[in-house]
């Protein structure tokens, strides 16, 4: 029986699993989004969320603990510089799993694992709402608006009336007159 066996071994040895999760966590931190199987994404979620929580406190100890898990200086620097300030107010749930269907080769269930605060498309809805509340600085008066509109229509009609003929037609007309 499998009572109280929570960890998904993913069909790998312990050292292989730890190395794979560390590499996937590094890729997720650096790229903010990765595509993987759903089982690996769920295992990675339980691996990376405590690390992100630990990164909220920027101390030497927390940096060393996270480096012992990730073994990548650039990922640790990125985590503390860019990721942790954005998720400072969030109490948990730093990742999102979006299922994308099955893989063609072996029919494995695939998904996208991403950091929640770094998805521009989903945050774009909030930005669009903020932009719609902007208003124009001043409105035009009735007299000024009508005068400008009539001046624009006069300018646009004038060039249309003075259309020039192509050079070939003028040459033909001159030859006809001379005959």
pLDDT of residue 9: 94
**Per-residue confidence band for 124, with pLDDT thresholds at 50, 70 and 90:** confident
Average pLDDT, the chain: 83
Reply yes or no on whether the pLDDT at 98 is more than 80. yes
pLDDT of residue 147: 59
pLDDT of residue 83: 95
Question: pTM of the entire structure?
Answer: 0.67
The token duo for 93 is 């749930």
pLDDT of residue 6: 87
Can you tell me the mean pLDDT for 8-35? 96
**Per-residue confidence band for 139, with pLDDT thresholds at 50, 70 and 90:** low
pLDDT of residue 125: 63
Give the domains, in start order, of the chain with CATH numbers: 14-119 (3.90.1030.10)
pLDDT for 43-63, tens place per residue?
999 999 999 999 999 999 999
Can you tell me the mean pLDDT for 112-130? 77
pLDDT of residue 51: 97
Reply yes or no on whether the pLDDT at 72 is more than 70. yes
Can you tell me the mean pLDDT for 19-48? 97
């Amino acid at each position: 029986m499998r009572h109280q066996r929570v960890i998904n071994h993913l069909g790998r040895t312990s050292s292989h699993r730890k190395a794979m999760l560390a590499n996937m966590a590094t890729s997720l931190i650096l790229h903010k989004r990765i595509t993987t199987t759903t089982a690996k994404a769920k295992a990675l979620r339980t691996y990376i969320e405590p690390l992100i929580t630990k990164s909220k406190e920027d101390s030497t100890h927390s940096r060393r603990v996270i480096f012992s898990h990730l073994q990548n200086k650039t990922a640790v620097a990125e985590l503390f510089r860019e990721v942790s300030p954005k998720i400072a107010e969030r109490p948990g749930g730093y990742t999102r799993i979006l299922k994308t269907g099955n893989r063609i080769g072996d029919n494995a269930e695939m998904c996208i694992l991403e950091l929640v605060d770094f998805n521009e498309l989903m945050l774009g809805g909030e930005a669009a709402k903020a932009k719609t509340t902007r208003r124009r600085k001043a409105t035009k008066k009735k007299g000024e608006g009508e005068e400008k509109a009539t001046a624009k229509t006069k300018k646009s009609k004038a060039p249309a009336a003075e259309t020039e003929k192509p050079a070939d037609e003028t040459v033909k007309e001159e030859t006809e007159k001379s005959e």
